[in-house]
Structures are given as C-alpha cells and as structure tokens.
Amino acid sequence: MDVASYAEACAADGLRGDYSACRPDFTVEQDYGAYGAEDHAVWRALFERQSQLAAEMAHPSFLDGLRNLNVGDRIPDFDQVNAELHQRTGWTLVGVPGLIPADAFFKHLAARRFPTTNWIRSADEFDYIVEPDLFHDFFGHVPLLSLPVFADFMQLYGATGQRAIAAGNVEPVTRLYWYTAEYGLIREAGGPLKAYGAGLMSSAGELPHAVHGPGVRRRPAVLADIVRTSYEIDKYQRVYFVLDSFEALFQALQSDDLDAVLSAAAKEPAVDPATR
C-alpha cells in the first residue's frame, strides 16, 4: 500500500500519527527536538513504574538488554541507541508515525530494522492506550533486540511474514507475533515463570496478571496451537503461551513444515483463546 492511501485510511480509523511526512517505506525522522517537557515526564514516570515491575517479572535477558540501552530519565534518542544496538546485534531503530501496513512492517524486520513509533502518549492516557506508542515500542520491544537469539528470531519472523502474505497466511503468522513478541511468557528448566512479550512489559496491569494471576490460562508454546488461536487487542489475554527457551522459538520458525502449518491454520476457523 502506498503512503498516501494508508495515511487516509489511518485518519479514517482515528489513528493519530502524522503520516504526511512518511517516506515510501513508512519511516519518519524521530524529530527529537519536538518532544516537550510533558513528553519526557510521561516517559520518565512510565519508565520508573515498569522498570520496578520488570525487575521482578521480566526474563533476565530483558533486564540485561534494558540496562545496556542506558536510557531512563528522558525519551531515548534513536540515533544514540542505534550506535549501541547495531554493534550488539545488527539491529537499527527506525522512526514510524504509528502502525504501518503489514508488508512494510515485515520488510523492516527482515532487514533488522525495528519500526518505533515517534510519539508518546499523553499524561491522561498513562495507564492504557490502544495504539502502540513510543513507550510500548521502545520499552517493550527494544531490550530483547540486544539478545542475539531473539534478534535472529525477529529477523526470521519478518521474512516468514513476507512469505505468509504471498501465501495468504497472514492471520496465522500475526497470531504468532501476538502470543510471543507481544504477550509471551517463558519458563526455563526449573526456573520461575517470567514475562518477555512487549505488550506485557509495557503494561502495569497485565504484567502481574499474566505472571501471578490466579486462574490465568497458561499453555505450552506449541507453534501449531498458537497460530490457530485468535486474539483480542483491547482486553487482557484469555490465554498465554509459555516458552521453554528463546532457542525453541527461533527453531520453530526454522522447521521444515512451517509453511504447511501456517497454511493449514489459515484454512481452519480460529480457536477461541478462552477454550485453550
């Protein structure tokens, strides 16, 4: 889809990003100088709250990644972060005005570029926002991009997504992203249950719910199950899928029958997460 028609569709959907300055690949300058005092204050307060929750509930590699990024007091400057991140795993953050079309999103991931929204929510949206903003994209997704196996998974996910669009399997592949990169839990051999998904890491309510909540459905992260399970974007998840290791996630995308699993899932009605 070209930028002009996508911009129009986003405006019609009530998405708030400014798509008028987009390049053909949907990237925009971060425009660091445009952030005001309230923007930095919202970042700082969100950062402090989520860092405290993460210290207890995040996978140690998320915490290592967060520390390596050297951010906290002010909205991170993508250029400064890129100097560090690119050296670690070859990933680069690129600014975007918000959600972009799936084909453009996958193409960036496949090239180790992470589309990062350049605006942050306002103070009155502190606890909840439907659209991904800079806090979600950065705090949620970027720390694990400094873990080599997860960095490789995200690239391969992008390539898989491009193939899935061509094959008509975009829904199953999107469910995989949702239940791993966004809402994934992990329990390594004999260890405690931890969170790694960005939707959890950026949410003060759902993170403790997913990790500690009583009566929460947590199922083994089996690829064929995940890609058949539908999801809802505006409430807590009805089921979470628990990985054994990040290596297993990367390997799932390397299995010989991956495309067959995705095609089969695309042909069946989705499973309701509340019944998993």
Nearest distance in Å: CB 197, Fe ion:
8
Find, among 147, 186, 153, 145, the residue nearest to 57 by Cα: 186
- C-alpha–C-alpha distance, residues 37 and 136, integer Å: 19
* Chain center to CA of 134: 11
Q: Determine whether 141 is an active site residue.
A: yes
List the single partner that 198 binds among ligand HBI, Fe ion, none, CB under 5 to 8 Å by kind. Answer: Fe ion
Nearest distance in Å: CB 231, Fe ion:
13
- Do 180 and 253 touch, CB atoms closer than 8 A? no
Question: Is 96 or 198 the residue whose CB approaches Fe ion more closely?
Answer: 198
19 near ligand HBI (CB under 6 A) = no
Q: Determine whether 136 is an active site residue.
A: yes
Question: Is 198 or 266 the residue whose CB approaches Fe ion more closely?
Answer: 198
239 near Fe ion (CB under 5 A) = no
* Footprint of ligand HBI on 37-96 (CB under 6 A): 96
Q: For the purposes of burial, counting CB atoms within 10 Å of the CB of 234, is it exposed (0-12), middle (13-18) or buried (19 or more)? A: exposed
105 near ligand HBI (CB under 6 A) = yes
Q: Which residues contact 80 (CB under 8 A, 6 or more apart)?
A: none
Nearest distance in Å: CB 136, Fe ion:
6
Handedness of CA 260, 112, 249, 134 (dihedral sign): negative
Q: Determine whether 255 is an active site residue.
A: no
- C-alpha–C-alpha distance, residues 23 and 17, integer Å: 14
Question: Is 65 or 140 the residue whose CB approaches ligand HBI more closely?
Answer: 140
- C-alpha–C-alpha distance, residues 71 and 54, integer Å: 15
210 near Fe ion (CB under 5 A) = no
* Footprint of Fe ion on 173-202 (CB under 5 A): 198
- The SS3 call for residue 241 is strand
Find, among 96, 119, 93, the residue nearest to 3 by Cα: 96
CB-side exposure of 59: number of CA atoms within 13 Å? 26
Taking residues 113 to 142 in sequence order and writing x for each that binds ligand HBI by CB under 6 A, - otherwise, the string is --x----------------x----------
Q: Determine whether 182 is an active site residue.
A: yes
273 near ligand HBI (CB under 6 A) = no
The catalytic residue positions are 136, 141, 182, 202
Under the rule (CB under 5 A), what is the footprint of Fe ion? 198
Under the rule (CB under 6 A), what is the footprint of ligand HBI? 96, 99-100, 102, 105, 115, 132, 161, 174, 177
